[in-house]
Structure 1
């Protein structure tokens, strides 16, 4: 006879199957040749020509009476400036960021040379990030021209399109690209994968104007054939060491024994290399982090002398202080620690700091404090770079009440070796 229904029921708690984790869709967006592309909006007649950005402000195009512009070309450049960025047409000649302009002139003498305009680049940076946020607000800011985006909770991300299981992902990524194009007139490239490491790599695979979606199942045919150095975090030294050990592709790295990697690279980096080759990265998209400091610096067209070029250095010094003060106001911060950075003609770099009794964003106070720092560095050698930094930041609306002032001790006179004329 069958047992009563109540007797057949288990008295133990029912088994609760855990819900599978939600899939992660992380995008990395990189603007295409950002500085150069912004300049081409201003000078559309240069489209299709090799164009490089860099070399200071003296190469501004000149508008003629007939409405045409005279532009500088690399063959006429003399100096030690470097390329900030280059159009894809210029890159076809082997030109790239960080290359000296004199070397670039030997490769592409007729390439157009335009000056940098960082205020304009920052404006377009704000525009493209706002356009992305309209579609997907979970953004990690990684600089003026790139961001990470967590797409995991964007509506429609999981919906297939026809037979394409990743159709929803492609549709959302394309919507972001379209929004950026409408807001700025610029193109961008996006890589979408389960994590930041792979997305950073993939955003570069189909540039310019690329959209690349890769899953872990795609690793063997999309990622493993690539050179190992394409992984963000494998620098020139590690790449050369891997090459010497017979590891050339990411697939070679994935096939390497983890303990063998640890033996050659140490437990931390060796373990990371193994995980990176297999596309593992659990880092979250960090949507906000407080900056530790704000700074402005400039490299001179020629080496400047503290005494002979005092007037020019003074103007540059004051402008840097005004710019960093404007940055503080625009971002809503005050700072207490004022820093100075100098690089000499022998490439030696020195820094000095001074902490103020109260927070400030006043350009004159920043200039005064940075000037005090200047008294503590030798100025016999010529200078190639000058920078000003403000640290120990606090949001303007969270500044603590000032403490009662104390009478400051007399400032010690700087050593005799440091008493050359200051700027």
Structure 2
């Protein structure tokens, strides 16, 4: 008896962070809204109960856009764009701060709604999942519509979903009919719906590979499907060239991975201005402590402990430095993480202003497998220069 045809769905929440904010501020629906501001972007409630919102034109700093509404995207403002550049494109756009606690809460709600249909769910981040629907009874369109309705009922938000024979096509397809899309793809749809797309739309073809492909005349997925494999091997090597041919024809055998152990958990922040390790020590110390505590909270919430603590610094000349330290015990305690991160920090000469600071914990194991690791000793911490003679 032959195996049933795989039905793999990719579900992607629509403009997720921005959509969560619109639940909080429904008067902003239909407007260009950008998420990514700091404390100065918190809306001001006026005496009459109305709100005064910050505008993107008033932003000063070097932050980046976290996300934007579709109306802001129509003006050219997209995630990861510098705020100052975005302000030139959409100066009148509303600017709101990020609220990751709220986003994580809604992420949990939509994933729980999906799991009422099947446990065959692969978590791919805060706003997207793969779902293996092969064993779920019903026609693909009907099942996908019921999932979308369940997500909407649980969250008040819309999502886009594609059902396809594999993860590759499902991922591409969930972008085709956004927002609030429901897309079905079969191998017969590949020439019409996939081949006209830019090659960079394939997950795994990054900007550098897309630029290299364009250099040999390959702009679309269809161009890639017709490319000579020998030419691809010359430019990309045998393994990657073979993969390019496979994905261009929509072939992908990867399973939906229901349970995967995370390798690490991390937090980082890019400062609105470069901070000096001595002059701005209080601000750095506060940020450093907050990152460590948030990583600890993430570990405890997800039920893990880690033994390797690492930090990442990016200086004002964009040089990035990392350091790692193996702790004497697994932990999810923020203070213990702070101690290990401080030891890492002491191994980096702090001679330039700091643009980005990050904290990471790896070598994770489930907390219930921790055993009898000794408890960390509590102590007071300061953000300190490695050398006493460090100068501005």
Give the TM-score normalised by the residue count of structure 1: 0.87
Q: Are 1:380 and 1:420, in contact at CA under 8 Å, matched by a contact in 2?
A: no
What's the counterpart of residue 408 of structure 1? Answer: none
Superposed CA deviations along residues 264-286 of structure 1, whole A, max 9, x for unmatched, are: 32111111111111110000000
Superposed CA deviations along residues 314-373 of structure 1, whole A, max 9, x for unmatched, are: 111111111111112111112211212211111111111221211222222221221122
Question: Which position in structure 1 is the counterpart of 2:334?
Answer: 363
> Is 1:140 paired with 2:111?
no
Matched with 1:411 is none
Residue 144 of structure 2 is aligned to residue 173 of structure 1: yes
Aligned residue for 1:356, secondary structure, equals: strand
Q: Which runs of 5+ in 1 are unaligned?
A: 1-18, 157-167, 406-415
Find the counterpart in structure 1 of residue 382 from structure 2. none
How far has the Cα of 1:248 moved from its partner? 2.3
Instruction: Report whether the alignment pairs 1:122 with 2:104.
Output: yes
Q: Distance in 2 between matches of 1:246 and 1:366?
A: 50
1:43–1:142 CA distance, 2 compared to 1 (3 A):
same
Structure 1 SS opposite 2:116: helix
The within-5 A match list for 1:74-153 is 74-153=56-135
CA distance in 2, matches of 1:418, 1:99: 36
Choose 48-57 or 277-286, whichever is displaced more: 48-57
8 Å contact from structure 2 (residues 199, 220) kept in 1: yes
CA distance, structure 2, for counterparts of residue 396 and residue 248 of structure 1? 48
**Are positions 1:30 and 2:1 aligned together?**
no
Pick aligned residue for 1:231 from 194, 202, 212: 202
1:329 to 279, 292, 300: 300
TM-align CA RMSD: 1.9
How does 1:296-311 map onto structure 2 within 5 Å? 296-311=267-282
Could you tell me which residue of structure 2 aligns to residue 374 of structure 1?
345
8 Å contact kept, 1:27–1:192: yes
Q: Aligned partners of 1:61, 1:249: CA distance in 2, in Å?
A: 43
User: Is the CA contact (8 Å cut-off) linking 1:62 and 1:70 kept in structure 2?
Assistant: yes
* Equivalent residue number for residue 395 of structure 1: 366
- d(CA) in 1 for partners of 2:144, 2:344: 48
Change (3 A) 1:313 1:216: same
- In structure 2, the gaps of 5 or more residues are 377-384
* Counterpart residue number, 2:322: 351
Matched, 1:316 2:316: no
- Aligned pairs for 1:179-218 within 5 A: 179-218=150-189
Q: Is the 8 A contact 1:340 1:353 kept in 2?
A: yes
Deviation for aligned residue 1:420: 5.3
Partners in 2 of 1:417 and 1:290 — Cα distance? 35
Larger Rg: 1 or 2? 1
SS at match of 1:134: coil
Match of 1:49 among 31, 39, 46: 31
Q: Could you tell which deviates more after superposition, 231-240 or 185-194?
A: 231-240
Q: d(CA) in 2 for partners of 1:268 and 1:204?
A: 27
Partner of 2:218: 247
- After TM superposition, list the pairs within 5 Å mapping 1:220-299 onto structure 2: 220-299=191-270
Q: How far has the Cα of 1:421 moved from its partner? A: 7.7
Query: Cα gap change, 1:393/1:420 in structure 2, threshold over 3 Å: closer, same or farther?
Result: farther
User: Deviation of residue 240 (structure 1)?
Assistant: 2.2
Shift of 1:262: 2.2
**Correspondences of 1:53-72 after superposition (within 5 Å):** 53-72=35-54
- 2:380 aligns with none
- Structure-to-structure mapping, 1:400-419, within 5 angstroms: 400-402=371-373, 418-419=387-388
The answer to whether the 8 A contact 1:377-1:418 is kept is no
Q: Contact 1:375 / 1:419 at 8 angstroms: preserved in 2?
A: no
